[in-house]
Amino acid sequence: MPSRRAVIGGVFASGVVAGLFGCTAAPEPTLQADPTFARKIVTYPSPEPAGTILIDPGSHFLYLVQGNGQAIRYGVGVGAEGFSWSGVAAVHTKQEWPDWYPPAEMLARKPELREHMVQLQSGIGMPGGPDNPIGARAMYLWQGNKDTLYRIHGTNDPTTIGHNISSGCIRLTNEDVVDLYNRTPIGTKVIVLATATTTAAAAAQ
C-alpha cells in the first residue's frame, strides 16, 4: 500500500486541487528552494506603512514593508489560479500547523485519499504537522466579513517556490512562513497585485 505521503504528493503534483485546497504543494522535499528566492532585505520604496504585506504573483515575491524605503522580500510559489484574484484584504485569522480539509469533489475523484484522512473537528481531513502540505503556518485573508479563500501558508516542498503549481494560494518555505507569521499581527493589510503588475522595485532587483 502506498504511504500517505506518496498518495498526497501524487495528488498535488497532478494539479487536481482546486480553489482554497488547491494552493498546496507536493510533500517530500528532495531539493532546497532556488536561492534566487531567498529571504532578504531589499530596497522597496512604497507609500504603504510599515507592516503592510504586498504580494507580486507575477515575480513570485512577497514584500513585508519595513519603512525607510526597505522591505523584507520572501520568495513565494503561486498557483495557476493565484493570478485570478487581486485586491486588498486583511489577515483575519492565523494558525500554527493548520489542518487540511480536502473538498468533497477531490475525495470523489480520489477516493484513495480517504484512507489517509481522519475525522477532525471540522470534518474529514489531515491533521496539521510535517506531512501536511499546508505547511507550518497559515494566514487567512478576508475582505470585511467575507473570506477571500486566499491564504498565505507554508509548504513542505521548497522546490515549488518561484513556480506556478496547482491552483490557489501563496506558499512560502516553512522557515519563511514562520518568520512572516511571527511578524504579522491579526488585521495586517495585504495587497495582492494583479498578474500584469510588476513593480519597478522588483524589476530592478
**56-70 confidence digits (pLDDT tens):** 998 999 999 998 999
Burial of 196 (0-12, 13-18, 19+ CB in 10 A): exposed
Query: Is the pLDDT confidence value at 145 over 80?
Result: yes
- For the chain, domains (ranges, CATH) are 4-199 (2.40.440.10)
Query: Is the pLDDT confidence value at 14 over 50?
Result: no
Catalytic (active-site) positions: 153, 169
In whole angstroms, give the CA distance from residue 179 to residue 197. Answer: 26
Query: Is the pLDDT confidence value at 84 over 70?
Result: no
Burial of 152 (0-12, 13-18, 19+ CB in 10 A): buried
